[in-house]
Amino acid sequence: MEIFVLGFFAIGYLVLAGADIGVGMALPYLGRSAGERREVIAAIAPFFLGNEVWLVATGGVLAGLFPRLEGELLHGNHTVVVTLLVAWVVRDMGLWLRGRLPGARWQACWDGAIVAGSWGLALSWGALLSHVLLGIEGPVALLPALVIAALFGTHGLTFAALRLRGTLRARAAVLAGGAGEVRTYALTSVVLVVVGVLAGLRLPLEPGTSGPLLVPVVLTLIPFLVAAQAWVWWTFRHRVSGPSYL
């Protein structure tokens, strides 16, 4: 049961947050003016904080139920993990601060932070998954990391195509082609699930001793988390019609 709980949160994060990471990576392509970039950001505005909860939950489950793996995985990939956290902070600073003040330079600065942070997140996850899946690290891991980043980017583009309208939607749908946005989003989601499952199969998943105490608590919270996520998706199911609060 401990493995199910960890896999549930980790794979959920890859699929859900992979979309907003990918949108951030593609921001210069999708939004070619300040107004367009703000509308693109509005596509992920209602979702990205909720998606990050899944990463926080994954970290908590990892530390609580798999303390040995947490030590090996995080401390053994110290540079990648620190890069991931820095990229996470930079990306979120960009999202929160770009709309706080007017001015082209101010917004361009934080737009750059969103793009750099999103690429940093995608490449960090790519490097971490490459190490787990293929056992490689260092500069040679850049190639598989780029493949994972491309997967995030494709996932984000299809998500943007589902959320945007008009010209922005047409740009975002460039990779969906005749398959359609929903089918392409479902396909990239399945690929991310497969990557997550394969990575999990490569990990030494030996639960610690706190499972009998923590697992019932976590299982009790899962329905509330899923219901909250479903509520957010239902509330913001319509296409973006203008800039958001970000």
- Ordered by start, the domain boundaries in the chain are 1-236
Helix crossing, 2-25 with 104-134: angle to 10°? Answer: 140
Distance CA(87)–CA(73), nearest Å, equals 19
| 162: its two tokens | 């589902």
pLDDT at residue 201, as a whole number = 86
Structure tokens at 142: 């850049």
Backbone angles phi, psi at 62, to 5 degrees: -60, -45
State both tokens at 113: 């932070």
CA distance linking residue 78 with residue 85, whole number of Å: 11
Residue 206 has a pLDDT of 78
Give the number of other Cβ atoms within 10 Å of residue 178's Cβ: 6
Q: What are phi and psi of 136, to 5 degrees?
A: -115, 150
pLDDT recorded at residue 221: 86
The residue written with tokens 């392509």 in the block is 29
- Positions of the chain with pLDDT under 50: none
Number of helical (H) and strand (E) elements in the chain, helices listed first: 11, 0
Per-residue model confidence (pLDDT) at position 60: 86
Give the span between the Cα atoms of 203 and 95, in whole angstroms: 33
Residue pointed to by tokens 């260092």: 138
pLDDT at site 5: 85
pLDDT number for residue 179 = 63
Question: What does the pLDDT read at residue 210?
Answer: 77
The pLDDT score that the predictor gives to residue 214 is 82
